[in-house]
Amino acid sequence: MKQGSHRIQVRTHGKGLYEITDRIAAWLAGQQIGQGLLTVFVQHTSASLVIQENADPDVVRDLKEFFARVAPDAASWYVHTIEGPDDMSAHIRSALTATSLSIPVVGGRMALGTWQGVYLFEHRSAPHTRTVVVHVIGE
């Protein structure tokens, strides 16, 4: 049984989905693990991770619009606004998605479907550098 871990820095330019599939796949390829389990974890409370379609950009656009409606910025009932009008909405969006993903490793690669990609979902308006930790265990 082998395992390995790595940190990936993702620079964002504000709200949106940033595909990181290729960066994760490149690191995983060097781990020489044929079968196992990959964990992807984001170390933030105002960003999250999702597996989504990476073929049609309308999916990303529609997801951004959906979350803008579900958790709008600057809602009058938010109490936690210390970091600005998008502070609490970012926490809500993060709570509705995921901070970690588990992906099977088969044949040395992520067992994603044909149109699936791994995305960092930035929920804040300002640019950030986000840290994503990847860990694999297997043989």
Between the CA of residue 118 and those of 2, 26, 80, 86, what are the distances in Å?
Answer: 23, 13, 29, 24
What confidence tens digit (pLDDT) does each residue in 100-138 have? Answer: 999 999 999 999 999 999 999 999 999 999 999 999 999
Could you tell me which residues come within 8 angstroms of residue 98 by beta carbon, excluding any fewer than 6 positions away?
A: 48, 49, 50
Q: Which CATH superfamily is domain 2-138 in?
A: YjbQ-like (2.60.120.460)
What confidence tens digit (pLDDT) does each residue in 12-61 have? Answer: 999 999 999 999 999 999 999 999 999 999 999 999 999 999 999 999 99
The residue type at 77: W
How far apart are the C-alpha atoms of 88 and 84, rounded to whole Å?
A: 8
- So where are the chain's domains? 2-138
